[in-house]
């Protein structure tokens, strides 16, 4: 089984890359997020690989990090989630964002992925809620700010800032992550306005 490939980018397809490893071109399917991170044709690249062996084919899936590959495996443990849907989810959410979305019970965020309806999104959140922290390395501050049950324990200005960012169109996990980073940068005593301004910079970066 192939676990990692290191080679030269030969060419790109819509949802795959051909990686030249010592003269052998491997067709590796990737999420849109991973494809965007890869260098131009002719440059060196390294991908974490998940090999799937079927009766009629051997397929390689490539990831920018081991964490993304772990989530690819974990997502497919949910009934109704195959490789295509797992890649679609990882195309719109980075591993940390996905972990935060599940921790926050944000079904709508997961449902943004192509091929994921409300029922499947709810199933993913329900089945993976206990596994997300282990796979996502969630910042405790993000989990505290994003969690619905513990929202009252977070500072008032922080919750106001999160609500403002959500109203601007950002997902709750992203907004919570940005405000958590802002709190670390400017202190727990910051007012909502300062957290919103800093949060927008975090999201823009």
Q: Model confidence over 126-178: pLDDT tens digits?
A: 998 776 544 544 455 555 555 443 334 455 888 888 888 888 877 776 777 77
Give residue 29's pLDDT: 97
Q: Which of 114, 138, 162 is the last residue of a domain?
A: 138
Beta bridge partner(s), residue 24: 21
> What is the number of alpha carbons within 13 Å of residue 160 lying toward its C-beta?
11
Share of the chain above pLDDT 70, in %: 86
129/75 same-domain check: yes
96/52 same-domain check: no
pLDDT digits (tens, 9 = 90+) for 41-88: 999 999 999 999 988 889 999 999 988 999 999 999 999 999 999 999
77/110 same-domain check: yes
Q: Which long-range contacts (CB under 8 A, 24 or more apart) does 75-84 make?
A: 75/124, 75/128, 77/127, 77/128, 78/120, 78/123, 78/124, 78/127, 78/128, 79/123, 80/120, 80/123, 81/120, 81/124, 83/29, 83/52, 83/59, 84/115
Does the pLDDT at position 32 exceed 80? yes
Give residue 149's pLDDT: 36
**16-20, 26-30, 37-41, 137-141 — which is least confidently predicted?**
137-141
pTM of the model: 0.66
Burial of 118 (0-12, 13-18, 19+ CB in 10 A): exposed
Does the pLDDT at position 192 exceed 80? yes
Is-contact 90 73, C-beta < 8 A? no
Q: Into how many domains does the chain fold?
A: 3
Give residue 82's pLDDT: 95
**CATH number assigned to the domain comprising residue 54:** 2.40.50.140
């Amino acid at each position: 089984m192939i676990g990692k490939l290191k080679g030269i980018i030969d060419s790109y397809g819509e949802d795959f890359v051909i990686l030249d490893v010592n003269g052998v071109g491997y067709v590796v399917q990737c999420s849109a997020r991973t494809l965007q991170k890869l260098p131009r044709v002719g440059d060196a690249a390294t991908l974490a690989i998940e090999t799937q062996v079927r009766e009629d084919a051997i397929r390689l899936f490539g990831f920018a990090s081991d964490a993304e590959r772990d989530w690819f495996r974990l997502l497919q443990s949910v009934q109704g989630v195959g490789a295509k849907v797992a890649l679609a989810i990882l195309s719109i959410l980075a591993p940390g964002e996905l972990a935060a979305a599940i921790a926050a019970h944000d079904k709508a965020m997961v449902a943004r992925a192509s091929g994921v309806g409300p029922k499947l999104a709810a199933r993913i959140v329900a089945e993976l809620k206990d596994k997300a922290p282990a796979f996502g390395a969630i910042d405790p501050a993000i989990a505290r700010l994003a969690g619905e049950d513990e929202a009252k324990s977070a500072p008032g200005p922080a919750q106001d800032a999160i609500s403002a960012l959500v109203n601007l169109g950002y997902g709750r996990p992203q907004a919570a992550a940005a405000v958590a980073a802002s709190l670390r940068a400017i202190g727990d005593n910051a007012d909502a306005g300062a957290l919103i301004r800093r949060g927008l910079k975090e999201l823009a970066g």
